[in-house]
Amino acid sequence: MQRRDWLAAAAALAAMPLGATAELRPARTMPRSGEALPGVGLGTWLTFHVDPDDAGVMAARRAVLEAFFGAGGALIDSSPMYDTAEQVLGRLLPGLPGARRLYSATKVWTPFEAAGPGQLERSLQRWGLPRFDLLQVHNLLAWRGHMRTLTDWKARGLVRHLGVTTSHGNKHDEMRDVLEAEGRRLDVLQITYNPVDRRAEPLMQRAADLGLAVIVNRPFDGGDLLRRLARVPLPPLAAELQCTSWAALVLKWELSHPAVTVAIPATRRADHCLQNMEALRGPLPDLRARAALGAEIERALGA
């Protein structure tokens, strides 16, 4: 679905009575390629930075990946910054049921343009892949130089989509400059967005206007958000949205922003992963239900 069609549908939805009236799943496409992606992906910061030779911890991470793919997941996000995470993925992915659906997303993370290609080659080896679906410049580090490398890698078929990331509010001005300078070459903006940090909304909107997909990082504010909500009962809207956890509700709030394509929560636990994947099922809130859900989350956080 084109963005303007989605906006027309969203406007029609806003005129309907409050509630979960429609399935907005078609919004989960990469705008440039039209490729469909499940709206919940998997982050790996800290959670997959484990000892690849520790059989117990590797079995636990395998269970997370099995839950993820079993529930229909595809996008896994990592980075050379995440220490052993890429290596752990490379060990666990082969032979996992559902892993053929993998949409691999990693990053280049070095202040030196000349070090970019070597790092990308090491990442391919660690993941055990011939190419990446998405390569992103991590935290805008040396982005001008790395964009040259990434563009070259795309031309050579070693990467399909290009992106830039940040999780720092103080980088938003620079990110705006990047979008204006490189918007036509980029496919993805990855940025922090959740109910307690909405600062990215103008950038998300600009990215969507330029035809970029938006990947939401830190969807649970690093886990703090769910810890604060843990003892608060779910609002009645949860039943309408077919959510049995705050985790799924928060993700549905994020995914129902018109610019958002995928959110990438990280977890060490298969049961948490299944809760998060629940956001793929049942309806997303329409615009008015989204506003009501946002108010419920604010109320719950204040409780």
Cα torsion 259, 17, 232, 264 to 10°: value is -20
Residue of minimal Cβ distance to ligand NAP: 43
Which range touches ligand NAP (CB under 6 A), out of 14-22, 26-34, 272-280, 286-294?
272-280
Choosing from 39, 163, 275, 293, the residue that interacts with ligand NAP (CB under 6 A) is 275
Tokens standing for residue 69: 């793919």
Radius of gyration of the chain (CA): 19
Task: Say whether residue 167 binds ligand NAP (CB under 6 A).
Answer: yes
Shortest Cβ distance from residue 13 to ligand NAP (Å)? 27
Which range touches ligand NAP (CB under 6 A), out of 20-28, 123-131, 175-183, 270-278?
270-278
Task: Say whether residue 276 binds ligand NAP (CB under 6 A).
Answer: yes
Shortest Cβ distance from residue 209 to ligand NAP (Å)? 22
Task: Say whether residue 44 binds ligand NAP (CB under 6 A).
Answer: yes
Task: Say whether residue 43 binds ligand NAP (CB under 6 A).
Answer: yes
Task: Say whether residue 165 binds ligand NAP (CB under 6 A).
Answer: yes
> 29 vs 275, which CB is nearer to ligand NAP?
275
- By CB under 6 A, how many residues form the interface with ligand NAP? 29
Choosing from 266, 270, 279, 297, the residue that interacts with ligand NAP (CB under 6 A) is 266
Instruction: State the Cα–Cα distance between residues 164 and 83, nearest whole angstrom.
Output: 20
Reported as half-sphere exposure (CB side, CA atoms, 13 A), residue 163 has a value of 30
Which range touches ligand NAP (CB under 6 A), out of 12-20, 53-61, 125-133, 165-173?
165-173
Task: Say whether residue 106 binds ligand NAP (CB under 6 A).
Answer: no
Task: Say whether residue 47 binds ligand NAP (CB under 6 A).
Answer: yes
Which range touches ligand NAP (CB under 6 A), out of 88-96, 180-188, 260-268, 286-294?
260-268
Interacting positions 188-227 with ligand NAP (CB under 6 A): 190, 217-223, 226
> 167 vs 242, which CB is nearer to ligand NAP?
167
CA distance to 44, 51, 69, 134, 189, per residue, from 86 (Å): 9, 12, 17, 14, 21
> Pick from 264, 270, 267, 275: which is nearest to 60 by CA?
270
Task: Say whether residue 265 binds ligand NAP (CB under 6 A).
Answer: yes
Tokens standing for residue 172: 């938003």
Instruction: State the Cα–Cα distance between residues 243 and 52, nearest whole angstrom.
Output: 34
Residues lying near ligand NAP in the complex (CB under 6 A) are found at 43-45, 47, 77, 138-139, 165-167, 190, 217-223, 226, 247, 264-269, 272, 275-276
